[in-house]
Chains A and B, each alone.
Chain A
Amino acid sequence: MLNRSVKRYIFSKGLDDYFTGVHKAYRFTTLFFKEAFKRPFHLRELINQCFEVGLKSLALITLTGFIVGIVFTKQSRPSLEDFGATSWLPSLIGIAIIKALGPLVTALICAGKVGSGIGAELGSMKVTEQIDAMEVSAINPFKYLVVTRVLATTITIPILALYCSFVGLYGSYLNVHAEETSSLISFYQSAFKTITFLDIITSITKTVVYGFTIGIVGTYKGYNATQGTRGVGKAANQAVVLAMFLIFIEEVIIVQVANWIRYY
């Protein structure tokens, strides 16, 4: 049984493994799109996962969004005061939070909290043969576990990002209000004055892409976990690291594309 021979590689072990991994990830992603539009849709599990993603991250996003709003306002005020431009503060905060910080902070928190959770859960199911158990019971585990989770993050993270932006603006408003008299409505009006339709579309697009990335990376890493409990930890860790890495790359690309659309 141990008829082992020296394995030949096309390039080297590392490069071959890398390209094999990219190909596997590509096939995993295309399979998601094939399965996502086929029956059965497992709506109950999808709602359950949306609830899990949303509820688990809500407290942390509320706290982080609120603090980001306060801290960013506190940091920006002195610079604007030097130019006598404190009245621009709400606009500056609006641009920063709605266009960049809200989506990015939400995505990074969810990559850490939700992505690692999905990676660990599916990884644990994989190494304890629970995924095989579904398959032999004539249940499509990819559809039940992967499609529902990816859709849940894709739907829920944009909503969380929107919520994070509003909480961040509210934190900023409280800080502004502590220094000078202003109403909440006028603050929000000023904050949104410089925000265009393209900015809103860009932010929504970003959060949808981030949500999809977190879901697909978490499920991919978990679904392909190996090496027992060590593999579960590795899957959770890689789900976070890879998702964050991809989120930063996507941020740059989407902003660049939005700027091209804006100026041409």
Chain B
Amino acid sequence: MENVKQHIVNKDEKVISISGLYKSFDDLQVLKGIDFNLFKGENVAVLGKSGSGKSVLIKIIVGLLKPDRGEVFVLGKHVDQLAGKELDALRIRIGFSFQNSALYDSMNVYQNLAFPLTMNVKNLTKSEVDHAVNGVLVSVGLANKSKQMPSDLSGGQRKRIGIARTLILKPEIMLYDEPTSGLDPITSAEIIELINEVQQKYNTSSVIITHDLTCAKNTGNRIAMLHKGKFLKVGTFDEVFATDNEQMRGFFNYNFIQ
């Protein structure tokens, strides 16, 4: 689980750049002026309590939500000014792993994985699709599950297939929404290992949204602590953990560090 520390981060190349980001829902202000950069090859874990705006942040990055104010650049593109084919072209370069995996439950594992590929890449032969599907299934360690329906899979397996579905389009950026939530400690450790393997093998830059300190510590090159819509501190795990800030200490004290 220490692989992440060895990965080379290119500090000259920003893949995500956010400045002055605000977002509210009706009268509820969720993000209150976020400034954030993600560098090429880097994993940043965004820590925070439920309702602190973590998921909203990555949904804005991928263009699922529009910000009220502020600028979000992803791979050099101004996300909230993109639409249609331009936005689709950017989204192909971003992998989004959902908290509950969001597998299409009317399709089996093979179809779940082949679907984004065949919808985005035209004129693929059956053997090319098979090759790509088997490749990502091997990457996530579930090579023998292609015929199973999502309802037949365990929570950890669903998470893995969810990640595999994003990998099939060979993304440059991975966004993980609570990758270890609802999993037992052993399965969580396997998912953490998979996140690091993905970073190594696919050379991705990642934002990992989590409230799990173990996950943040073992996946993030940097940790960003989000509290009430603002980043309280961004730095290495040790820097963030050494804080005297009462709100952050309160959060850490409720977590178990592996």
Contacts and interface: CB of A to CB of B under 8 A. Distances in A.
B228 A1 contact: yes
B64 A135 contact: yes
Given A1-B28, A4-B27, A4-B28, A137 B102 contact: no
Interface stretch (A63-71, A125-133, A150-158): A125-133
A86 B51 CA distance: 73
Given A3-B27, A4-B27, A137 B120 contact: yes
Nearest to A136: B96
B102 A132 contact: yes
A1 B30 contact: yes
Given A130-B104, A137-B169, A7 B92 contact: no
Contact of A138 (B32, B53, B89, B98): B89
Interface in B1-36: 26-30, 32
Contacts of A135: 64, 91
B64 A139 contact: no
Interface residues of A, number: 21
B100 interface: yes
Nearest to B53: A1
A136 B61 CA distance: 11
Nearest to B96: A136
Report the contact-size class of chain B (Cβ under 8 Å from the partner): 35 or more
B222 to A, nearest CB: 24
A129 B103 CA distance: 9
A146 B256 CA distance: 45
A138 B102 contact: no
A133 B29 contact: no
A225 B87 CA distance: 25
A252 interface: no
B242 interface: no
Contacts of B96: 133, 136
Given A133-B98, A136-B62, A7 B27 contact: yes
Contacts of A121: 106
B120 A139 contact: yes
B173 to A, nearest CB: 11
Contact of B51 (A1, A124, A129): A1
Closest 9 CB pairs of A and B: A138-B88, A137-B116, A133-B102, A129-B102, A136-B96, A138-B91, A1-B228, A4-B27, A139-B119
23 contacts: A1-B28, A1-B29, A1-B51, A1-B228, A4-B28, A5-B27, A7-B26, A128-B100, A129-B98, A132-B102, A133-B165, A135-B64, A136-B91, A136-B94, A137-B92, A137-B119, A137-B169, A138-B89, A138-B119, A139-B119, A139-B120, A140-B88, A144-B119
Interface of A: 1-5, 7, 121, 124-125, 128-130, 132-133, 135-140, 144
